[in-house]
């Protein structure tokens, strides 16, 4: 039996659908991770936990501590009690408990907890993931549609990224699940094979949607202040400081990570962003 946390989230929905296609039985966990009695009930008979729950999309530092750090600590404690044999967790490229960025710091603390748990583990660090119902491509395009006739480029749009299609990340998770002995007690980084400047990614997103905008460089200091002024008062800000922090440093690694570790080549960015072509993209900014 497999328990999946964050089963209704961006990665979780794709992963659950993948398991159903493969005929693999899984138990989704929908409750709060700090509710130990409910965790204990759901972990009965579970051999593998796939931990996908996280608070990044909510944009609040306090929730990072509650979900990504304290929630993971509680989950690991109950996994030890239940005798779970393999703990698979999704993390982020650049995770570091000493990072100046709250999200990467929380992910680094989470990873440290997993390594110290004495439960056989696999940590999958990913670059930015994209796909239908994401909080990346859809958010960027929605902002561009609202800012007519301009599109704002934090940091001048020069930061490099290696975006990875969410279905390819899910495929990596499935391979780890099917071959646990091959990946036990490893931290593996996965990313797309293309290194793209942010301005090029935006250009391709607009092209797919049939729109044109005038690119306007936006200094990072101004980008941070504007995001706070325009969005910080939202309960769940669509543009959070976690999102802005992506433009502070390149998010890159080796270009052959997926091929080397999982023996397949990930999809190219331009071939998988047709989900941005559908109507109603302006409204995606207001999606919770």
What mean pLDDT, rounded, does the chain reach? 92
> Residues with Cβ < 8 Å from 106, sequence gap 6 or more?
64, 65, 68, 69
Do residues 43 and 31 make contact, with C-beta atoms less than 8 angstroms apart? no
pLDDT score, position 288: 61
Once rounded to an integer, what is the mean pLDDT over residues 23-44? 88
Cβ-based neighbour number of residue 49 at 10 Å: 29
pLDDT tens-digit readout, 78-93: 999 999 999 999 999 9
DSSP 138-175: HHHHHHHHHTTTEEEEEGGG--EE--EEHHHHHHHHHH
Q: Would you mind telling me the total number of residues written for the chain in this entry?
A: 288
pLDDT score, position 253: 96
| Cα 270 to Cα 139: distance, rounded to the nearest angstrom | 17
pLDDT score, position 223: 83
pLDDT tens-digit readout, 173-215: 999 999 999 999 999 999 999 999 999 999 999 999 999 999 9
Model confidence at 243: pLDDT above 90: no
pLDDT score, position 118: 95
Helix ranges restricted to H, the chain: 10-22, 36-42, 61-63, 72-82, 102-115, 137-146, 166-178, 180-183, 198-208, 220-231, 241-245, 257-262
Token look-up 């009930």 returns 41
pLDDT score, position 77: 95
pLDDT score, position 92: 96
The two structure tokens encoding residue 225: 């202040």
> Residues with Cβ < 8 Å from 233, sequence gap 6 or more?
none
pLDDT score, position 231: 72
| Cα 191 to Cα 255: distance, rounded to the nearest angstrom | 7
The residue ranking higher by pLDDT, 107 or 35, is 107
Once rounded to an integer, what is the mean pLDDT over residues 50-61? 87
| Cα 37 to Cα 41: distance, rounded to the nearest angstrom | 6
User: CA-based angle 147:153:155, to the nearest 5?
Assistant: 145
Work out the percent of the chain whose per-residue pLDDT is above 90.
Answer: 73
Token look-up 């942010």 returns 198
| Cα 212 to Cα 149: distance, rounded to the nearest angstrom | 8
The residue ranking higher by pLDDT, 259 or 225, is 259
Do residues 273 and 208 make contact, with C-beta atoms less than 8 angstroms apart? yes
Once rounded to an integer, what is the mean pLDDT over residues 5-12? 94
Q: Which of 42-46, 144-148, 279-283 has the lowest mean pLDDT?
A: 279-283
Do residues 245 and 106 make contact, with C-beta atoms less than 8 angstroms apart? no
pLDDT score, position 282: 82
Is this structure's pTM higher than 0.85?
A: yes
Q: What are the structural domains of the chain?
A: 2-197+225-286 (3.40.50.720)
């Amino acid at each position: 039996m497999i328990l999946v946390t964050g089963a209704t989230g961006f990665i979780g929905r794709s992963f659950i659908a993948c398991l159903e296609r493969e005929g693999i039985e899984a138990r989704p966990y929908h409750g709060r991770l700090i509710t130990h009695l409910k965790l204990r009930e759901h972990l009965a008979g579970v051999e593998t936990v796939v931990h996908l729950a996280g608070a990044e999309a909510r944009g609040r530092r306090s929730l990072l501590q509650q979900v990504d750090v304290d929630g993971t600590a509680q989950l690991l404690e109950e996994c030890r009690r239940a005798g779970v044999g393999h703990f698979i967790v999704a993390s982020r490229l650049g995770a570091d408990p000493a990072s100046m960025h709250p999200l990467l710091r929380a992910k680094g603390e989470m990873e440290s907890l997993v390594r110290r748990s004495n439960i056989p583990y696999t940590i999958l660090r990913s670059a930015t993931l994209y796909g239908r119902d994401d909080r990346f491509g859809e958010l960027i395009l929605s902002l561009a549609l609202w800012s007519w006739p301009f599109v704002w480029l934090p940091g001048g749009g020069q930061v490099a990224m290696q975006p990875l299609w969410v279905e390819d990340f899910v495929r990596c998770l499935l391979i780890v699940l099917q071959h646990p002995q091959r990946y036990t007690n490893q931290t593996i980084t996965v990313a797309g094979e293309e290194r793209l400047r942010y301005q090029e990614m935006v250009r391709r997103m607009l092209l797919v949607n049939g729109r044109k905008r005038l690119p306007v460089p936006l200094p990072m200091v101004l980008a941070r202040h504007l995001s706070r002024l325009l969005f910080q008062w939202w309960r769940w800000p669509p543009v959070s400081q976690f999102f802005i922090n992506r433009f502070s440093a390149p998010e890159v690694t080796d270009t052959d990570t997926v091929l080397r570790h999982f023996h397949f080549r990930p999809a190219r960015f331009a071939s998988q962003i047709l989900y941005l072509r559908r109507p109603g993209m302006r409204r995606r900014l207001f999606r919770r």
